[in-house]
Amino acid sequence: MEFCPACGMLLQIQPATGGNRLRLFCPTCPYVCSVKNKIVKKARLVKKEVEPIFSGADAMKFAPKTSTTCPRCHNGEAYYKQMQIRSADEPMTTFYKCCKEDCQFEWRDD
C-alpha cells in the first residue's frame, strides 16, 4: 500500500494501457507516480485452528446436563454449552453432546 505524500489518501493503481506504464494516482488530488519496479507481494495464508466445542473427556466431567432428546440415539440426557456466536442482539446458541458413552453425538440448537 502506498499513500499520497500530499494529502495522505491511499493511492490507486492505473493499469498500463497503450504506451503508458503502470502508475499510482491519488483519487482526490492531482498526484501521480509512475511505477518503476515490479510490484510483488506474497503472503502465506495462516489457517485458523478449529477447536472442538467440547474438548476432551475431562471437560465433560463438570459440564452441566439437561433433559433433551439426542437426534441420533434418542437418549434423554445431554451435556450443553451456550455461546454467543452472532451479534449481541441475537440469542445465544446452545451446543449439545449426548451423555451416552457409545453415542457422544454433537448438535446445536439455534
For the chain, report the end-to-end CA distance as a whole number of angstroms: 41
pLDDT along the chain (110 residues), means of 10: 88 78 88 79 82 66 86 92 86 89 85
The CATH fold of domain 1-37: N-terminal domain of TfIIb (2.20.25)
Residues of the chain with CATH 2.20.25.10: 57-109
Quote the pLDDT of residue 75.
93
For 42, residues 6+ apart whose C-beta sits below 8 A from its C-beta are: none
The CATH fold of domain 57-109: N-terminal domain of TfIIb (2.20.25)
Provide the 8-state DSSP code for 57. Answer: H
Helix or strand holding residue 18 (H, E): none
